[in-house]
Amino acid sequence: MSEKIEKARVLADLGRFEAAREMLGEVLAGDPEDPEALADMANLAYRAGEYERALEFAGTAMRVVPDEPFVWRVRALAELQLSRGAAGGEGAQRRVRALAAARRAVELEPDEAVNFRILAATQRDTDPAAALENLELALELEPDDPHTHLLRGLTLRRNVHGPDAQAQAEAAFREVLRLEPDHAEALYELALLAVDRGENQAGAEQLRRVAQLDPAYGGVVREQLAWLAAQDEVRAWAVREAAAGGASRRPSGTRKAAVQVPVSRPRSDGSRFGRWAAAVGVLLVIRVVIAALGSDHDSAPTTTHYTPPRYNAPPTFPSYLRQYPLTVPPMPTWPGDFPTYRMSPPR
C-alpha cells in the first residue's frame, strides 16, 4: 500500500474527508486504476453522503477488481440510500440493485457477518422475515456486534407486527447497551418504547440522557419532550374540567356521568398519518368533554395545537450503516500478486 493511501485513511478517520480525497486524488493521477484508491474514494463519497459519486467510484473499481466484496458493499449501501429518496419506479429499481449487490457480497465472502447485515438492511423494508434470518446468520458469525443487534431491534420494532415483536426489539436494544453502555441510538429507541407503553416519565428521563450522550440528538429530544409535556397538560386539563363540571356546575339529580378521557399515545412506527391522527383524536375528545360539561365553559387548555414529534427520524446517520476506520476488519487477498490489505466494510 502506498504511503499516500495510508495517510488518506488516517485523515478519513479524523473526519478530514476533503484532505483525504486530495491525497487519494494524487494516487489516482499517477494510476487511474489503482484499486485501493478507487475503493477508498467510493467509501469516502458514501461516508460524505454523496451516494451517486460513491456509485461512480465503485463502478470504476469493479472494472479493475470485479469480485471484491468491499466494493459490492459500498454499491449496495449507496443504492439503498438513493432508493429512500427516489419516487415510484426509480426507488424500486434502486432497491433491486441494492439487494443484488448485497447478495453478491455474501456470495463472494460468506464468512463475514457484515455482508449478512448489509443484506438484511436492504431487505428490512420489503421482506423483514428474510432480514431477520440474515441477521441471525450475522450473529452466528459475530455474536457481539452491536450494529447487528441494533438493526435487529429496528427491524422488529418498525417492520414486524406481532405480539412479541416489541419485546424482542427491546431485548435487542438492551443487548446493544450491554455491549456499548453509552450507545445513544439504542437508548433513544428504548425511550420511544417506554412512551409507547405509556411510561412517559421514564421515557422522558431516557430522552434527556440521550441528548447528554450525543448532542446531535438535542433537537429531536426537545421536540419529543415538548410533545410529552403537551400531552400531559391536555390530560390534566381534561380531568380538571370533568371534575369541575360534575361536582359544581350540574344541579343535583341532573349531573352527567364523568367523562373518561383517553389520551392517545404517539405511534412509534414512523407513520406521519398515525401521529397526526393521534393528535386530532386528542383534540376531538376534548371537544366532546366540553360539550358534555355544558356550553358555559369558557376555559380551554393552554396547548391544544401542537405538532407531534417525528418519532422515528434519528438525527444522525444510523450507526448500523456508519463507516469505521478503513484498516480493519479484513479484506481478502487481492487477485494475483497484488499486496494484501485489510479495509473495514462500510457500516
Q: What is the pLDDT of residues 197-235, one digit of tens each?
A: 989 999 999 999 999 999 988 888 999 999 999 888 888
Average pLDDT, the chain: 78
Query: At residue 315, does pLDDT exceed 50?
Result: no
Query: At residue 324, does pLDDT exceed 50?
Result: no
Residue of 129, 110, 111, 108 whose CA lies nearest to 120: 129
pLDDT of residue 248: 52
Distance between start and end Cα atoms, the chain: 23
Query: At residue 166, does pLDDT exceed 70?
Result: yes
Query: Cα dihedral angle (92, 82, 308, 260), rounded to 10 degrees?
Result: 30
Q: What is the mean pLDDT of residues 44-55?
A: 93
Reported as half-sphere exposure (CB side, CA atoms, 13 A), residue 249 has a value of 18
Quickly count: other Cβ atoms within 10 Å of residue 217's Cβ: 22
Residue of 165, 162, 138 whose CA lies nearest to 153: 165
Task: Between 96 and 271, name the one with better pLDDT.
Answer: 96
Query: At residue 150, does pLDDT exceed 90?
Result: yes
The pLDDT confidence band at residue 238, using thresholds 50, 70 and 90, is: confident
Q: What is the pLDDT of residues 113-134, one digit of tens each?
A: 999 999 999 999 999 999 999 9
Residue 292, SS3 per DSSP: helix
The pLDDT confidence band at residue 91, using thresholds 50, 70 and 90, is: very high
Query: At residue 311, does pLDDT exceed 80?
Result: no
Instruction: Record the pTM.
Output: 0.73
For residue 194, give the DSSP letter: H
Rounded-to-5 percentages of helix, strand, coil across the chain: 65, 0, 35
